[in-house]
Homo-oligomer: A and B are copies of this chain.
Amino acid sequence: MSKIVAFIGLGNMGGGMAVNLIKAGFQVNAFDLMEANLKTAADAGCTPMTCSKEAVKNADFIVSMLPNGAIVESVYIDGDALLDVIPDTALILDCSTIAPANSRRVGAEAEKRGLNFVDAPVSGGVAAAAAGTLAFMVGGTEANFETSKEVLDAMGANIFRAGDVGAGQVAKICNNMLLAIHMSGTAEALQLGMDNGLDPKVLSEIMLKSSGCNWSLEKYNPVPGVMDGVPSSNDYQGGFMVDLMLKDLGLAQEAATASKSSIPMGASARNLFNLHKNSGSGGSGSKDNGGKDFSSIQQLYSRD
């Protein structure tokens, strides 16, 4: 008999993830506050539920994919707490990207009730969610991590254990902050080269084989025309939105303030992406660049 996954939150990301669970043979009891999302999930083979409490009733796994920490806390622990009705044989996997402090609070409340919890934020966007090639950074006990892989393997290609509860969030925050730093650094270095007469293709090739090499330069060159099939060569459409990068940089900032850490480069990156967000030229009727791919930070440096 199929194992049951209760899936809560079926937006762009969650919807794709749930489908991959169906494909892997799980029974997916799905719930979302938006009727349309629920309908799409049902069409794809999920069993639509009328509320989250009903969804988790007989579940072996609970997977949640929610927009922010306040909502995650409100679903699991506030008021009519979902944690109060989850069976103690189940494993809870919260795949939302939220502050480590929020994950730890939910994890501690789960533990009080004898429940198993891991945070498992994802890396990779909507396309990877649909393709089942997400990366998961997991925080939880070694045992819960092992158990979680049964579900995560169905949705992702790389599953890492970062440490105890909350560590998944920390790993994701650190990685994405570093990504923002080398993406803006790459844009800045390429622009400095162009401003001094270099061809961005030639400069990119040189740096790729030198100590300036990094993921942004290798997979995701931000200058239009240098690389095919990346957002920069498609008017910065698709990919990973500026607004989502700003969310992650905000979480990095929040974590750094709490742990009294210095993040001068990460803070610079947040402000550059934020200045970029607000400097939209309004060509498409909007001044807001938040919906563009994050490699569009190149436009902040450019004079054209």
Report A's interface with B, CB cutoff 8 A.
100, 123, 135, 137, 158, 160-164, 166-167, 170-171, 173-179, 181-182, 184-186, 188-193, 195-199, 202-203, 205-207, 209-217, 219, 246, 250, 252-257, 259-272, 274-275, 277-279, 281-282, 287, 300-304
Which residues of the other chain, B, contact A282 by a CB distance below 8 angstroms? 281
Which residues of the other chain, B, contact A253 by a CB distance below 8 angstroms? 253, 257, 267
Which residues of the other chain, B, contact A212 by a CB distance below 8 angstroms? 174-176, 178-179, 182, 215
B264 pairs with A176, CB closer than 8 A: no
A214 pairs with B164, CB closer than 8 A: no
Which residues of the other chain, B, contact A185 by a CB distance below 8 angstroms? 177-178, 181-182, 185, 265-266
Report which of B162, B215, B250, B257 forms a contact with A202, defined as CB distance below 8 A: B162
B160 pairs with A206, CB closer than 8 A: yes
B166 pairs with A197, CB closer than 8 A: yes
Report the minimal beta-carbon distance from A47 to chain B, rounded to whole angstroms.
33
Report the minimal beta-carbon distance from A199 to chain B, rounded to whole angstroms.
7
Chain B CB within 10 Å, residue with most, of A177, A188, A246, A274: A188
CA distance A250 to B275 in the complex (A): 20
Which residues of the other chain, B, contact A193 by a CB distance below 8 angstroms? 170-171, 174
8 A-B pairs (CB sep. < 8 Å)? A170-B197, A177-B189, A181-B188, A192-B255, A196-B255, A196-B259, A281-B281, A281-B282
Report which of B176, B206, B270 forms a contact with A211, defined as CB distance below 8 A: B176
Q: What residue of chain B has the Cβ atom nearest to residue A157's Cβ?
A: B209
CA distance A158 to B206 in the complex (A): 9
Q: Which 4 residue pairs across A and B have the least CB separation, nearest first? A: A214-B214, A181-B185, A178-B212, A267-B267
B184 pairs with A265, CB closer than 8 A: yes
A264 and B135 contact, Cβ closer than 8 Å, known pairs A175-B212, A181-B182: no
Which residues of the other chain, B, contact A272 by a CB distance below 8 angstroms? 264-265
